Structure 1
Amino acid sequence: MSTDFQRARDALGARLRELRTTGPAGRLTGPQLGERLGWPHSKIYKLENGRQTATATDLQAWAEATGQPDAVPELHSRLSGLVSHVRSWRRQLATGHRPVQDAITVEHARTATLYIWENSLIPGMVQTPDYARAVFTRHAQLMRSPKDTEEAVRARVQRQEALYDSRKRHRILMWEGALRALVCSPAVLAAQLDRLASLTGLDTVELGIVPFAAPLKIHPANGFWIYDDRLVIAEDWHAELWIDDIDSIAVYQRTWNLLRESAVFGTEAQRVIAQVQRAGWATSARGELPLGEASST
């Protein structure tokens, strides 16, 4: 998907170059356009060569500086199509985590069946408030974004009301490693595991665990969420990918199905959760300090 994104950025850059070289007043050089805009000419070439993503403001200024303001709607349309697929965390989190949660809530409301795969974290849809708080806090530190942690936690927990909506289905798979990851304190993780165990009896939730010892049909790579058959959202460190083309969605659906073949459900899933809980209690009983607990956040 990063290749598709780069191709779209390259195409936008080519269009910007065309506007620069075919304006009504004649061809402008990169330095000439940069001078008109008050930009270093290196920015002109980075945008044209697909090495930098333009903002909506950049595109409007470019069209006006080349004497072609009528091109603004087309340029904005190109940008909208590009950023709708790759949504950088830097831009999304400029005002904190709450707006991101609100955008996801809109997609949840439109969805009848949600398919989830997570390999390193408990999915947000079933997180306890304390677990969610730890995740948001650490992510805000990493991204150096505004800390609106409590608002984000409330939005995430409120969204979980859908778990009890008889019109919806949540088919959740996770790697055993997600049950063991100490992204929070051991006490918070213990409560989170209790929460997971309590969900195995809900008729609106299918909870599957892929144990460490399970034979795998496909490697357990990054997490992703499938919203019916219309959208996939996958996360990376720099951005979220919003994927809506049919062929790519089909790849994620096949991947989810392959992962499901290695999962256990019901009492078997509860047994895996219980084993992880016992391992955590045994560590605490020995007085060992688990990884991640050397300092508090």
Structure 2
Amino acid sequence: MSTDFQSARVALGARLRELRAEAGLNGKEFAERLDWQRSKVSRLENGKQTATVEDLDAWVQAAGAEPEAADLKSRLRGLESQARSWRRQLAAGHRGVQERYVAEYRSTATVRGYEATVIPGLFQTPDYARHLLIHNAELMQSPHDTEDAVRARMKRQEVLYEAHRVFRVLIWEGALHALVCPHETMAGQLDRLVGLIGMSTVELGIVPFGVQLKLTPKHGFWIFDEERVIVETINTEFTLESGEDVALYGRVWGNLDEGAVYGPQAHRLIARARAALDLT
């Protein structure tokens, strides 16, 4: 069980204990009111058991704290966040992760994404992807199955040509200048981005340097069918499925989109980044 999960479960239990105490009941009296075993009340309050929605409804009713139900259920949904360690995922190499993403995108009709430091995998050239995968395998000390992983990442991009899908992707301008590969490879990658502008399935926006923003550009994230969000950190991949989390990331995407440029303006920013490369 992850430390984050257990910490959140303990915090939820502490809040349940507070509500029970505010009702003026000890654990035995509260269990009797609920017609539960005393041990269940103890386990929930001490973070030894995960409450259900029904448990929370019964708890607030017994404590006379019905207005707290929404907050408790929000906390419970927070426990539903799935965390996957990259070290565990990459134990056998990158190929399996890339193939999982292929399945993820094939089951999705609409994607909203944002990347602040890297060109998204959906848009990467094989050479650019190869350099990223090599660097990541060295960092994570995972097996170097680079060529298989590159092929799987390119397989993922087939969804860009399926007419019933839409990919609304924002890239912070800094990602156009981040040199994680040789200049020639980066030039080819930027040319690839230009070729995506105008595709019927792709809406590519660039968030420029100097634009007035409502929030600072943070980590990348991807929203799938407005149902779940995938967030990648250096060591962990999080899948967030609560309605509040999806709505929050949707608002972040919308705020960034307000400052983004598309079409010819996006093309000019990409061209500027390419011109800055020293290809002599």
| Same topology, TM > 0.5 | yes
SS in 1 for 2:211: coil
SS in 1 for 2:276: helix
1:94 and 1:83, CA in 2 relative to 1: closer, same or farther beyond 3 A?
farther
1:252 and 1:83, CA in 2 relative to 1: closer, same or farther beyond 3 A?
closer
Identity %: 51
Distance 2:79 2:89 in 1: 15
SS in 2 for 1:240: strand
Distance 1:235 1:154 in 2: 21
Task: Provide TM-score, normalisation by structure 1.
Answer: 0.69
1:6: Cα distance to partner? 4.1
The 5 Å alignment of 1:1-297 reads: 5-7=5-7, 85-280=82-277, 283-285=278-280
1:111: Cα distance to partner? 0.6
1:49: Cα distance to partner? 9.8
1:99 and 1:9, CA in 2 relative to 1: closer, same or farther beyond 3 A?
farther
Distance 1:5 1:250 in 2: 21
Task: Provide TM-score, normalisation by structure 2.
Answer: 0.73
1:159: Cα distance to partner? 1.0
- What root-mean-square deviation, in Å, do the aligned CA atoms of Structure 1 and Structure 2 show? 2.6
Kept in 2: contact 1:229–1:249 (CA 8 A)? yes
**Partner AA of 2:99 in structure 1:** D
SS in 2 for 1:145: coil
1:12-71 per-residue CA deviation (whole Å, 9 max, x = no partner) reads: xxxxxxxxxxxxxxxxxxxxxxxxxxxxxxxxxxxx999xxxxxxxxxxxxxxxxxxxxx
Distance 2:89 2:155 in 1: 21
Kept in 2: contact 1:94–1:146 (CA 8 A)? yes
**Partner AA of 1:7 in structure 2:** S
**Partner AA of 1:132 in structure 2:** A
Query: Structure 2 unaligned runs (5+)?
Result: 12-45, 49-77
1:279 and 1:92, CA in 2 relative to 1: closer, same or farther beyond 3 A?
same
Kept in 1: contact 2:81–2:241 (CA 8 A)? no
**Partner AA of 2:236 in structure 1:** A
1:113: Cα distance to partner? 0.5
Distance 1:132 1:83 in 2: 32
**Partner AA of 2:166 in structure 1:** R
Distance 1:103 1:8 in 2: 28
Query: Structure 1 unaligned runs (5+)?
Result: 12-47, 51-80, 286-297
Kept in 2: contact 1:217–1:261 (CA 8 A)? no
1:83: Cα distance to partner? 9.2
1:101-135 per-residue CA deviation (whole Å, 9 max, x = no partner) reads: 12222211111011110000000000000000011
Q: Which residue of 2 aligns with 1:64?
A: none
SS in 1 for 2:90: helix
1:82 and 1:250, CA in 2 relative to 1: closer, same or farther beyond 3 A?
closer
Q: Which residue of 2 aligns with 1:28?
A: none
Q: Which residue of 2 aligns with 1:294?
A: none
**Partner AA of 2:106 in structure 1:** A
1:277: Cα distance to partner? 0.9
SS in 2 for 1:94: coil
**Partner AA of 1:85 in structure 2:** Q
Distance 2:109 2:268 in 1: 29
Distance 2:213 2:116 in 1: 13
Kept in 1: contact 2:184–2:279 (CA 8 A)? no
**Partner AA of 1:201 in structure 2:** G
1:5: Cα distance to partner? 2.8
1:6 and 1:255, CA in 2 relative to 1: closer, same or farther beyond 3 A?
farther
Kept in 1: contact 2:168–2:204 (CA 8 A)? yes
